[in-house]
Amino acid sequence: MISEAARCVKCGLCLAGCPTYQLSAIETMSPRGRIALVQALSQGQLAVDDYSHEVLGSCLLCRRCEAVCPSAVPFGALMDRGRELVRSRQGWKERLAIALLSRRVWMRLLARIGKAALPKATPLGKMLTQTRFDAPEPEELRRPRGTRTVGRVGLFTGCTGSLFDSVALEGATELLLQAGYEVQIPRGQACCGALDAHGGNAKRAARLLSINEVAFASAGELEAVVSIASGCGAQLAGYPALGGKHRDVCAFLAQGRVISRLRFRPLEKRAAVHLPCTLENVLHGGEAVLQLLERIPGLQIEVVGKKGECCGAGGTALLLRPEMAGKLRQPFVQRLGELSPDYVLSSNISCRLHLQAGADTAGVQFMHPVTLLAQQLIRG
């Protein structure tokens, strides 16, 4: 993997789009600087210290650099390796955040405490108020009613998705059923492993990967494994046994033979669409979201933010570097204020929460694009 770093020809084409370089104007805080640092650390030319941990830990993992790199340097994988090297310098807050957010049971417990303690007016408090801890587990296999079955897909729920975005999971399921697909939701699936991989815990990330590969391998012949959160999707796309089959839910639904089976009721409203960096830079799925939303007659669609730009919620910035996360969010919030939309749609729950926390949200509904599509779906 480290040999891949040698592909970097130091052209600097990635610098202009890197949010941490734009904020700091420091070479080490750029993709090129980080690649050089990972090389130096792995070859023993530099010792691991707090500064190297900060340089690598502050990367948002938006992978905008990777998307523009002419040498195809696999920046995401290099950064995971770099974070493994500096893991010994992680503070307790970082360790705790990663441990809590990647374990469904702990997150559920934390969410219950937050629901009781957080003011309901805050975005997180509002979301927790709507979280049903007694909601039944989704059925493992759902079959389309009264429609010819055209195939079967696996649905990846994720640890945050199953707890906080069950509405989007249900919406995705309804759209897939209406398009004629059986939806298999294997019970044995686990967290995608992104948080552990990005936190330098390669061993746990590999363990989660193999749990998920086994869970989906036992789900029968699947045309695709779809996920709703682009952050999870970016991780699943790199699974050796799943990579080729993984699709973001919107990319799957937007395929001509699938979308042709879906009809939507008109909606004379305005939607601001946020296309997360992981969706654009890794999954290349932004266009599919727009194609789907354009099928809702009357819906006005405005994209918020530049292509592949991170809103500040990337990596662990939202939890551990709130000041930087807030600065990067500002242009998005300003644009939302100018647009005054009825809906803000984003495929990643952490981006959605982050934007909701910063925007004037009176009368605005924040949701996953598939939630709005399912709301307008003509069934039957």
Comparison of 12 and 188: residue with beta carbon closer to ligand SF4:
12
Q: Based on the shown chain and the rule CB under 6 A, indicate whether residue 225 belongs to the binding site for ligand SF4.
A: no
Q: Look at residues 200, 231, 228 and name the one whose alpha carbon lies nearest to residue 84.
A: 200
- 250 contacts 275 by C-beta, under 8 angstroms: no
- 163 contacts 232 by C-beta, under 8 angstroms: no
What are 145's two structure tokens? 């009613």
Per CB under 6 A, the list member of 1, 49, 50, 71 interacting with ligand SF4 is 71
Q: Based on the shown chain and the rule CB under 6 A, indicate whether residue 6 belongs to the binding site for ligand SF4.
A: no
Comparison of 18 and 273: residue with beta carbon closer to ligand SF4:
18
Q: Look at residues 106, 211, 212 and name the one whose alpha carbon lies nearest to residue 160.
A: 106
Q: Based on the shown chain and the rule CB under 6 A, indicate whether residue 11 belongs to the binding site for ligand SF4.
A: yes
Stretch 27-66 residues interacting with ligand SF4 (CB under 6 A): 31-32, 34-35, 59-65
Comparison of 20 and 162: residue with beta carbon closer to ligand SF4:
20
Per CB under 6 A, the list member of 41, 75, 111, 194 interacting with ligand SF4 is 75
**DSSP three-state, residue 45:** coil
Beta-bridged to residue 226, according to DSSP, are 155, 247
Tell me the one-letter amino acid at 120: K
Q: Based on the shown chain and the rule CB under 6 A, indicate whether residue 316 belongs to the binding site for ligand SF4.
A: no
Comparison of 61 and 175: residue with beta carbon closer to ligand SF4:
61
Q: Based on the shown chain and the rule CB under 6 A, indicate whether residue 313 belongs to the binding site for ligand SF4.
A: no
- 78 contacts 108 by C-beta, under 8 angstroms: no
Beta-bridged to residue 300, according to DSSP, are 270
d(CA 235, CA 278): 9
d(CA 352, CA 347): 8
Comparison of 17 and 161: residue with beta carbon closer to ligand SF4:
17
Q: Based on the shown chain and the rule CB under 6 A, indicate whether residue 69 belongs to the binding site for ligand SF4.
A: yes
**DSSP three-state, residue 305:** coil
Q: Based on the shown chain and the rule CB under 6 A, indicate whether residue 19 belongs to the binding site for ligand SF4.
A: yes
Q: Based on the shown chain and the rule CB under 6 A, indicate whether residue 83 belongs to the binding site for ligand SF4.
A: no
Comparison of 74 and 114: residue with beta carbon closer to ligand SF4:
74
Per CB under 6 A, the list member of 13, 48, 99, 150 interacting with ligand SF4 is 13
Comparison of 17 and 285: residue with beta carbon closer to ligand SF4:
17
d(CA 379, CA 369): 18
How many residues interact with ligand SF4 (rule CB under 6 A)?
25
Kindly calculate the radius of gyration of the chain based on its CA atoms and give it in whole angstroms. Answer: 20
**Residue 184 CB, nearest approach to ligand SF4 (Å):** 33
d(CA 373, CA 351): 19
What are 240's two structure tokens? 């050796």
The Cβ-side half-sphere exposure at 265, using a 13 Å CA radius, reads 9
**Residue 65 CB, nearest approach to ligand SF4 (Å):** 3
Per CB under 6 A, the list member of 3, 10, 188, 199 interacting with ligand SF4 is 10
Q: Based on the shown chain and the rule CB under 6 A, indicate whether residue 14 belongs to the binding site for ligand SF4.
A: yes
Binding site for ligand SF4 (CB under 6 A): 8-14, 18-20, 31-32, 34-35, 59-65, 69, 71, 73, 75
